[in-house]
Structure 1
């Protein structure tokens, strides 16, 4: 009696169900796999699991894995199907937390942080592009914002839970995060639509358009500019300013709250003013905030900056995706191919920034130069974006 109604729902979930699954995947793949680690750094150092520089390199390992995932996502979708890949990757992240629940050599943590980052990269490329075609065109901007809001929700969950979890020890914390990832993985499991075009998605070339190439460079530079707040902010407050893990987690909570609303706000701004214009405004605002962060040790300002940059961290993702759709209207295969390459550029900027800034930090220069480097990357991205002349009034064209 029930099977005739359940089977179609499993094969063809509605737009809301598909959006929810993509939100859960981003919550696990980025919100927890990446952002739960940043407030863990002070505890890892204080408990003697790793030196500060090694803990920073482990954060960079996740970003290097993200690059690998972004590059391999289309192959995995072509080989196994996007829905299958999107079920496997969050499960891999859950395992990565569980197997790091005891002190282990650096290489053990490095491999699992790399794998969790790889899974996040696959999720970033595939989740939205699988779910959004099943959403009515008029609601795709909002749906994209909701999907990437999962990143911020994961950061909020980790920031809110980590202080009481850490009070019970690092092993308990890692295990609990793994269990939470498992729960969201199961919540998303039956909500993925069937992917009808894995072969064409894997074979489609990236369209040759200088504006797309410029977007990839700008997106990569924007990623570099996000790294100081994304990796070092909580540690700066907790250890650099001697405010303690609880204050660092509070600042990180504000970062997560910003990340929860940023994608929706910026997605709607893109719908209203055009994604090219929104991208330029975002670059200006980020450059100002990151530059000012390098000049102060006032915790109140750092909390505000964390909230703002938290909004931009996942918020630039629907903006960049919308920009791809602006440049390739109606070409869904081209959009998926271009988005995969654009995500890889973002991952390369993050990984390069993370390793470069981790090295800079290991030289003993403190936190200020890290934020200055991030601001410089954002300014350079703005210069590149302004140097590419838009065609006609494309900024006002619908995505």
Structure 2
């Protein structure tokens, strides 16, 4: 698929496949590596005496805080520079942050660069996919969005496979290895971004378009935030639950994390394909139900087979929910393209706030409940149940 871009050199076209590759590279660098690679690095950082355990935990939170800052500031950045310029700069920032983290000069130094990596991830999440999907035919946006966000799943999988291999060479070498991968992906993505926004389609030029469906959008923002709460128990506590809660050991916990990562690779493509066939609204409701079932499984059973299913399904929707919500935003604002990117920034901010808040809140509950893992999964399942009810009510009121 090719789309002409008017301000490029004569005869030049924007190639959608290159744009999708650039978007996948951006999500892999900004979220997949910059966030999830820190999880297996944390024990090594503590073991190498770079920072004590309590301090290292705060460094992990710095990325989540930076993610929120990046999501909030993305709009201001593209008002002062072209989206392609901002996207390139954010991928370079993530690469520089990896290099800087190879040298533990001080806590403040490390904190700033973990914060910077989070900022790059938040901005890339807000800007990359909308910039590309504006050039994709509506009937293929589900699959294209899924392909873009597959980068997140690849990063999760890499965190359980490539990072342990790099750690055999040393902690500093691991950070530098991640920087090299990030730089390579930045080079691959460099010329994949469109030179300008996609031309307006006829539907966008209607003089009397409907007003934006504010109640439906507010419901979607709430659902996305609640979905973040539902994902946090697996994201943070799954490995520890298997290793210590069930007494199966660290190696067994790592195996479930690999399953989580395998699900995360396939999830965006499968959810995007479902959205292309059933519509983003229906696909989103299916996703909420499947997540609810998967998150509640550890509450009611501890058998290996059911935990494997739970790990794969939740892993699939950790990145798989993203193209569904983005597509639903674009559906609700089909007649208001100028508002789509602003709404996506708001949705991403809602997810970031609820993710950070629930991560701290569930950690507090865990420490004050005597290590009750099932309570955490029950809260996650309840959040997903509320999200489903919100969606059903919003759809009923819109009819």
**TM class by smaller structure:** 0.7 to 0.9
Query: May I ask how many residue pairs the two structures share in their alignment?
Result: 380
1:250 counterpart = 2:255? yes
Taking a change above 3 Å as real, the CA distance of residues 180 and 294 of structure 1, as seen in their structure-2 partners, is: farther
- Measured after TM superposition, the shift of residue 105 of structure 1 is 4.6
User: Are 1:360 and 2:369 an aligned pair?
Assistant: no
CA distance in 1, matches of 2:69, 2:101: 21
Q: Which ranges in structure 2 are unaligned for 5 or more consecutive residues?
A: 1-7, 199-210
Which deviates more, 121-130 or 151-160? Answer: 151-160
| CA distance in structure 2 between the aligned counterparts of 1:109 and 1:369, rounded to whole angstroms | 33
Give, in angstroms, the shift of residue 137 of structure 1. 2.9
**CA displacement 1:16-42 (0-9 Å, x = unmatched):** 111110110011111111121223334
Take 1:10 and 1:51, find their aligned partners in 2: how far apart are those partners? Answer: 57
> CA offsets per residue over residues 54-105 of structure 1, 9 Å max, x none?
4444333322221111111111111121111110112111222222224455
2:215 counterpart (195, 199, 210): 210
Does residue 371 (structure 1) correspond to residue 383 (structure 2)? The answer is: no
The question of 1:337 aligning with 2:342 is answered yes
Q: Does the CA-based 8 Å contact 1:10-1:190 persist in structure 2? A: no
1:276 to 2:294 alignment: no
- Give yes or no for contact 2:144–2:272 (8 Å, CA) kept in 1: no
Q: Aligned partners of 1:340, 1:190: CA distance in 2, in Å?
A: 24
2:202 alignment counterpart? none
Q: Secondary structure at the match of 2:37?
A: coil
- Give the match for residue 24 of structure 1: 25
How far apart are the structure 2 equivalents of 1:86 and 1:370?
A: 36
Using structure 2 for the length normalisation, give the TM-score: 0.86
Give the aligned partner of residue 394 of structure 2.
388
Specify the alignment match of 2:139 in structure 1.
Answer: 138
In the alignment, structure 1 segments of 5+ residues that lack a partner are 1-6, 198-205, 394-399
Aligned to 2:237: 232
Task: Provide the C-alpha distance between the structure 2 equivalents of 1:196 and 1:279, rounded to a whole number of angstroms.
Answer: 27
More displaced 10-residue stretch of structure 1: 105-114 or 285-294: 105-114
Post-superposition, which runs of at least 4 consecutive aligned residues in structure 1 deviate over 6 A?
none
Q: Which range moved further: 369-378 or 175-184?
A: 369-378
Which 10-residue stretch deviates more, 382-391 or 258-267?
A: 382-391
Deviation at 1:175, TM superposition (A): 1.8
Q: How much does 1:294 deviate?
A: 4.0
2:206 aligned residue: none
- Aligned counterpart, 1:288: 293
Q: Distance in 2 between matches of 1:85 and 1:27?
A: 17
> How far apart are residue 230 of structure 1 and its match?
1.8
How far does residue 111 in structure 1 lie from its aligned partner after superposition? 2.6
1:371 Cα deviation after fit: 2.2
3-state SS, counterpart of residue 19 of structure 1: helix
* Partner Cα separation in structure 2 for residue 80 and residue 110 of structure 1: 27
Q: CA deviation at 1:127?
A: 0.6
Do 1:153 and 1:256's aligned partners in 2 also have CA atoms closer than 8 Å? Answer: yes
Distance 1:389 1:158, change over 3 A: closer
Distance 1:364 1:342, change over 3 A: same
Question: Which secondary structure state, in structure 2, belongs to the residue aligned with residue 85 of structure 1?
Answer: helix
Determine whether 1:307 maps to 2:312.
Answer: yes
Encode CA deviations 1:168-202: one digit per residue, 9 max, x unaligned: 332222221121111111110111111348xxxxx
- Higher relative contact order, structure no. (Cα contacts within 8 Å, ≥ 6 residues apart): 1
TM-score normalised by length of structure 1: 0.86
Note the aligned Cα RMSD (angstroms): 2.8
